[in-house]
Amino acid sequence: MGDGIAGLERFYGLFPDPRMAAYIFNLAEDYRIEARLRDNYPVLGNQIVEINRHLLSLREPASSIANPKHAFMETLTVILFGGRIAGQVPANIAAALKGSLMAVKDL
C-alpha cells in the first residue's frame, strides 16, 4: 500500500494545481473502469456509450471556455468519453492532449 500512496504523491506533485491533478486522476480512473466494463459486458458497454454521449451533449463546448486549463480538462473529458469536439482545438491544448491521451489510454 505504501508504494501506491507514494505513486499518487508523485503524480500529484507533477501539477502546480492539486485540483487539476485530482481531476485528471479521477478522469483516468473513470475511463479505465468504463473501458473494462465495455470490454467485459458488451450490452452494458453499449448503454454506457449512449449515456456518455447524451451527457456530453449537455456540456458547454470547450471552445467557449476562456481559461486554458479548464478548456484542456473539458476537451480531455469529451475525447475520453466519446464526444465530438466542436471547432478547432487550439495548438497549445492539442499538444498537451496528445501526451495526456496516450498516458491515460495506456492504463
Q: How many domains does the chain have?
A: 1
Using left for φ > 0, alpha for ψ between -120 and 50, and beta otherwise, residue 84 falls in: beta
Domain range enclosing 95: 2-105
Amino acid at 37: L
pLDDT score for 107: 53
The confidence score (pLDDT) of residue 83 equals 66
Residue type, 72: F
* DSSP label of 67: S
Residue 97 has phi, psi (to 5 degrees) of -65, -40
Dist CA 73 CA 16 (whole Å): 15
Category of 67 on φ-ψ map: left (φ > 0), alpha (ψ -120 to 50) or beta? beta
pLDDT digits (tens, 9 = 90+) for 3-55: 666 777 777 777 778 888 888 889 889 988 999 999 999 999 999 999 999 99
Residue-wise pLDDT tens digits, 70-107: 888 888 888 888 867 766 777 777 777 777 777 666 55
